[in-house]
Structure 1
Amino acid sequence: MFFTYLRRELRRRRKAALVVASGLALGIALVIVVSSVSSGMGKAQDKVLESLYGLGTDMTVTKAVEQPTGEDAERPRFQFDAGEEGAGEQSSDRVMVQGFQTLAASTVDKVGRQKGVSGAVGGLSLQVMKVNGEFTRGEVQPQEGAAPTAPGEGGGGGGGRVEGGGAEFDVNSYSVYGTDVGQLGLGPLTTSKITSGRGFASGDTDAKVAVADSAYAQENDLKVGSEVTIKEVKYDVVGIATADSGDSTADLYLPLKQAQTLSDSADKITTIYVQAADSQQIDAVKSQIQKNIAGTTVTTSADLADTVSGSLSTAADLATKVGTWLSIAVLIAAFLVAGLLTSSAVSRRVREFGTLKALGWKSGRVTRQVVGEAVVNGLVGGALGIAVGLAGAYAVTAVSPTLQAELGGGTEAAGPGGGGRMMMTGGPSASRTLDVALTAPVSVTTILLAVGLAVTGGLIAGAFGGWRASRLRPADALRRVE
């Protein structure tokens, strides 16, 4: 009887039921789209962080660079002397530790022994600045009436003037990362895939081999089998790596021991990448490391996420704040409208319910009938909302808008020069930008949330109508005209 009456009433009031279901569908669809976009934002941010940290890395341990004072504050420089011979090609590399003050390699073992740490690996970040070019000696042009000046006799005394000459140098700056080839499961290189050749092997601890980032390799015409020279040491390119995020941590990757030798940083590292045994205890592990290893700075993924700026950060804020509150407001409005429409429908069915009560229906049965109709309306609205929400999420994924995340990193070069000597100094830190494609994945949890909201909306609407129906008295109801 319950279902027969329910089906008959819903069929008879199709328009009213569709209006209620449509209102709920709008709110539920918005929740699905906002939830899926927020999930996509989270994945995009994780992708950005992984490009800096590497897969599986929960935090990094570093030591901040101390600000030099006095003579130590002088910036690093290259010096080239033209010499007596005049012309000649000059080339020199400057390998500098980048970003942080070095830590003893033994610190990795100390970090690995801390409670809650499941893995730790050290790495060395370097910046190489290569200056290559040549000096051209000027020629002495005699003045009118003066005897020609032979080379080496000088051009003073008014006997002539020097014309031409100078220096032409190219400056190339690129980054190098020293990788612990014995522990390749952590660190920035884990976010890159070897697309040509091979990666590092455990036997490459002190081998003169290198893995090049694909973008850097393309720019410099490098391929597997090519050679790169750093400080007159030749390294064979054994592999080309392509970063998943579109931007790699370094241009070249070397075995850690080789990177330490190049930079005169024996048994030194700049960064320790740490994996926690329990992702829920990251803050506790951070506190443990800071307490037991003095002078270090521990940065978690959450800390780093706060420093990410750009359109990705702006969109994430909109999705989590504006989108969430908008969804809540629309849901509340939809629930209220559904409740008021259901209550209004009960008012128009006064004679019907009065007749049912006169025939022996109790108030509870009438209430259950009204609530049942409202729940069915809610489920219909939920189905419509899920369909619209999935369509919206699919549209976002299909369009896949590109967002930008700005991160600190990189080193710019500046090189004032003069006379027969050239200086090369390291410049300030520059930001780099990652392009991340936005997707809107819909999880099973989101679908279950939508179903729950649909049932909740139906129950709220049924509560309004049921309360109104339960207050009707048969005698009063029969005296009213529908």
Structure 2
Amino acid sequence: MFFIYLRRELRRRRKAALVVASGLALGIALVIVVTSVSSGMKQAQGKVLESLYGLGTDMTVTKAQEKPEEGAQPAKPRFRFEAKGEEDEQSSDRLMVQGFETLADSTVDDVAQQDGVADAVGGLSLINVKVSGDFKPGEIHTQRKGLQMGPPGEGEVRGGGADFEVDSFTIYGTDVTQPELGPLTSSTITDGRTFKTGETDARVAVVDSAYAKKADLKVGDSVEIKDEKFEVVGIATADSGQASANVYIPLKQAQTLSDSKDKITTVYVKAADSQQIGAVKSAIQKNVPDTTVTTSEDLAATVSGSLSTASDLASTVGKWLSVVVLVAAFLVAGLLTSSAVSRRVREFGTLKALGWKSGRVTRQVVGEALVNGLIGGALGIALGLGGAYLVTAVSPTLTAELGPGLGGGGGMGGMVRTFGGPGGGKGPEGAGKTLDIALNAPVSPTTIGIAVALAIAGGLIAGAFGGWRASRLRPADALRRVA
């Protein structure tokens, strides 16, 4: 009897049911779209952070910034040239630690022993700078004084000068025995191969595809680092944005060539539990002195640009808008259901006169509202999936601007800002790195579950309004309406 009466009433009141269901559908669809876009924002931020430090890295450990002594000058690269002849062609090749800050490689073991650390690996971030060119001495033109020449040594120097070229590229010394962590994991080998675990002393290199194209390098060629030749065994393409370094070589070779024996610049850390990253960070800071621990959350705070703006809108304005629309939809559904009950006073009064209990009338009204809610939920899920699919199909491009020193490889430091990016040339002071990320809106089963729960909740709320109104009806009201 319940379902027969329910079906009849829903068919008889199709327009009212459609209005209630549509209001709930809009609110639920908006929740799905906003939740999906927010999830896409998190994925986009994850891609940005992976492009900095590599897949699987939850935090990095670097040397703590030391306060310089009063009057002390910060370390700066120096290039010295000696005069050799009238026209000197000279060059100087320097391999330097980026940022000039290093840790002992024993720090990796210290970090790995901390509670909550699943794995840790060290790396050395370097920059190779080659300055080459020639000097040309000027000529002294002696000035005349009347009919006589001036004294020897007096005169004007004309011509001469120097013409030098600066070529630089970044290098990352990677621990080939642990390939699962570090910046190279954010790139895919598209030609050749990656390092073998036994190539700790080998003079082999993996080159970023963008740099390989610029320098006209391919697998089998050689790249020169501080007058030493390394065979290119693989070409790596960054999965998103720019690569962390132009050239990757075994860590031991990087330490030897840069006179940084037993030194590293960064420890890449993977936590055993992603929910305990804060506790792991605290443990490392407490037990490993003179270090700075940077988590992915810390890095996310440095990301600006349209990605950051869109993420803020999705997490604040979007969520609050969803809440407001849902509350409005629930209230409208409740009020419409209550209004419909008021218009059915004679009907419900007659049913009570025929023996229906108040509880049965209430259950009938709640059942109708619940079905309306489920219909609205189905429509809302369909609309929400359509909206999320549209966002994914369009894939709007967002820009992520990273703060200075976060260009990859454990902190690019002052050298990158001084000599610019790959290929040399001075860049803007303090410039960071810009990535373009395509936005997707993935819909998870959890989001669908939330939508179903909202549909049921909306139906129950609407039913509560109507049930409360129906429970207060008396058979006498029906008799008065009939009269």
TM-score above 0.5, yes or no:
yes
> Using the alignment, how far apart are the partners of 1:395 and 1:240 within structure 2?
35
Equivalent of 1:230, from 189, 205, 225? 225
> Using the alignment, how far apart are the partners of 1:337 and 1:426 within structure 2?
58
1:103 Cα shift? 0.8
1:121 Cα shift? 0.5
- What pairs up with 1:35-434 in 2 under 5 angstroms? 35-69=35-69, 70=71, 72-73=73-74, 75-81=76-82, 83-99=83-99, 101-138=101-138, 156-158=153-155, 162-407=157-402, 408-409=404-405, 410=412, 411-413=416-418, 429-434=430-435
> Using the alignment, how far apart are the partners of 2:374 and 2:292 within structure 1?
53
- The secondary structure found in structure 2 opposite 1:436 is strand
> Using the alignment, how far apart are the partners of 1:58 and 1:31 within structure 2?
30
1:341 is matched by which residue type in structure 2? L
> Using the alignment, how far apart are the partners of 1:113 and 1:395 within structure 2?
47
> Using the alignment, how far apart are the partners of 1:448 and 1:459 within structure 2?
17
Is the CA contact 1:77–1:426 (under 8 Å) kept in the aligned structure 2? no
Is the CA contact 1:75–1:426 (under 8 Å) kept in the aligned structure 2? no
More deviation, 327-336/294-303? 294-303
Call closer, same or farther: CA 1:481–1:212 in 2, change over 3 Å: farther
More deviation, 440-449/276-285? 276-285
TM-score by length of 2: 0.91
More deviation, 236-245/56-65? 56-65
- The secondary structure found in structure 2 opposite 1:413 is helix
1:74 Cα shift? 5.3
> Using the alignment, how far apart are the partners of 2:255 and 2:364 within structure 1?
78
> Using the alignment, how far apart are the partners of 2:231 and 2:152 within structure 1?
49
> Using the alignment, how far apart are the partners of 2:204 and 2:390 within structure 1?
46
Match of 1:447 in 2: 448
Is the CA contact 1:92–1:231 (under 8 Å) kept in the aligned structure 2? no
> Using the alignment, how far apart are the partners of 2:311 and 2:372 within structure 1?
34
Call closer, same or farther: CA 1:467–1:210 in 2, change over 3 Å: same
> Using the alignment, how far apart are the partners of 2:308 and 2:28 within structure 1?
25
Call closer, same or farther: CA 1:55–1:350 in 2, change over 3 Å: same
- The secondary structure found in structure 1 opposite 2:327 is helix
> Using the alignment, how far apart are the partners of 1:478 and 1:242 within structure 2?
82
Call closer, same or farther: CA 1:452–1:427 in 2, change over 3 Å: closer
> Using the alignment, how far apart are the partners of 2:465 and 2:66 within structure 1?
68
> Using the alignment, how far apart are the partners of 2:176 and 2:419 within structure 1?
34
1:155 Cα shift? 8.2
* Paired residues, number: 466
1:202-230 C-alpha deviation (Å, 9 max, x unpaired): 12101111111111111221111222212
> Using the alignment, how far apart are the partners of 2:193 and 2:334 within structure 1?
65
1:423-476 C-alpha deviation (Å, 9 max, x unpaired): x99995431111111100000110111011011101100110111111100112
RMSD of equivalent CA atoms: 2.5
User: Structure 1 regions of 5+ residues with no counterpart?
Assistant: 416-423
> Using the alignment, how far apart are the partners of 1:219 and 1:444 within structure 2?
45
> Using the alignment, how far apart are the partners of 1:89 and 1:387 within structure 2?
72
TM-score by length of 1: 0.91
> Using the alignment, how far apart are the partners of 2:173 and 2:46 within structure 1?
24
Match of 2:460 in 1: 459
- The secondary structure found in structure 2 opposite 1:294 is coil
User: Once the two structures are aligned, what percentage of the paired residues are identical?
Assistant: 72
1:385-437 C-alpha deviation (Å, 9 max, x unpaired): 1111111101111111111112133412369xxxxxxxx99995431111111
Match of 1:10 in 2: 10
1:368 Cα shift? 0.8
Is the CA contact 1:78–1:425 (under 8 Å) kept in the aligned structure 2? no
User: Structure 2 regions of 5+ residues with no counterpart?
Assistant: 406-411
Match of 2:408 in 1: none
- The secondary structure found in structure 1 opposite 2:133 is strand
1:115 is matched by which residue type in structure 2? D
